[in-house]
Amino acid sequence: MKYNKVLSIAGSDSGGGAGIQADIKAISACGSYAATAITAITVQNTIGVSNVHAVPNQILAEQIDAVLSDIGADAIKIGMLHSSETIHVVADALNKYQIKNVVLDPVMVATSGDKLLLDEAITTLKEVLIPMVKVITPNIPEAEILLGRQIPTQEDVFECAAELANHYKVSVLLKAGHLNEDELIDVFYDFEKQESVEMKSNRLTTKNTHGTGCTMSSAFAAFLSQGNDLQQSAKKAKDYINNAIVAGADYEIGEGHGPVNHFYQLLETCKQ
């Protein structure tokens, strides 16, 4: 018997709702084995990020090498990278190991509004790393940074997903949660097939949205690791995060943005 394995390369969230902690939960809940390489340690809770300590790049490189040289990975999820130097370390590893299923969540700003990527690293992300991966999963603010212009309405999401995909030659899952419509339509643009897929859900009023981006991209990587194609993985990841948000909407944890309920399926089974 063999596990479907996902390596998450991301930052640690001491509050447990986002980052590596969310990645481990989501990958596990979606049925794959989670290994990790930590890029930075954040001092973080539901209210915000008060400090960030970058892991030395040599230690990051050795973490990635330790996992991929022994355990291997059927997919890689990349999250918070913080600096240009860190991005180059990850790019070197991707060149070395040639893992095909790589999902990049271009983490730039936390749910609380705290900046997680240095300005000088944005150019490196665009020019070096994005062209190397299979899928990127930006939210609206991140996509606006990548495009260099605003995405004001739901109608713009369709055009912008295709524009991002064809500019960077990568498939794009553009998340619409930052818009104001009651019906949210995330758009997945499959660059390999040049097709757009609409993924609809109703907006839910809840403050428990911390780590939704980390969770969705990790689920996407987990489903790719299991042999699903791009569109199947996108749809399954959308269903997973939507159900996790619904299941966690009414919980109270901390004073700010709480997490989603990553293990809602397990909890439902335990109650039966």
Catalytic site includes residue 213: yes
Catalytic residue, chosen from 214, 236, 238, 248, is 214
Catalytic site includes residue 153: no
DSSP3 helix / strand / coil % (the chain, rounded to 5) = 45, 25, 35
Distance CA 241, CA 199 (A): 12
Catalytic site includes residue 212: yes
Question: Which residues contact residue 122 at a Cβ distance below 8 angstroms, ignoring those fewer than 6 apart?
Answer: 108, 145
Supply angle C-alpha 100, 105, 109, rounded to 5.
160
Name the DSSP class of 55.
P
Catalytic residue, chosen from 19, 212, 248, 258, is 212
Catalytic residue, chosen from 211, 215, 236, 238, is 211
Name the DSSP class of 245.
H
Query: CB–CB of 12/38 below 8 Å?
Result: yes
Name the DSSP class of 80.
-
Query: CB–CB of 161/198 below 8 Å?
Result: no
3-class secondary structure, 71: coil
Q: What is the DSSP string of 115-160?
A: B-S-HHHHHHIIIIIGGG-SEE--BHHHHHHHHTS---SHHHHHHH
Amino acid at 99: I
Catalytic residue, chosen from 5, 25, 77, 175, is 175
Catalytic site includes residue 271: no
Catalytic site includes residue 227: no
Query: CB–CB of 191/153 below 8 Å?
Result: no
Catalytic residue, chosen from 46, 111, 137, 209, is 209
Catalytic residue, chosen from 11, 79, 213, 258, is 213
Catalytic site includes residue 86: no
Distance CA 113, CA 139 (A): 13
What positions carry a catalytic annotation?
Answer: 175, 209, 211-214
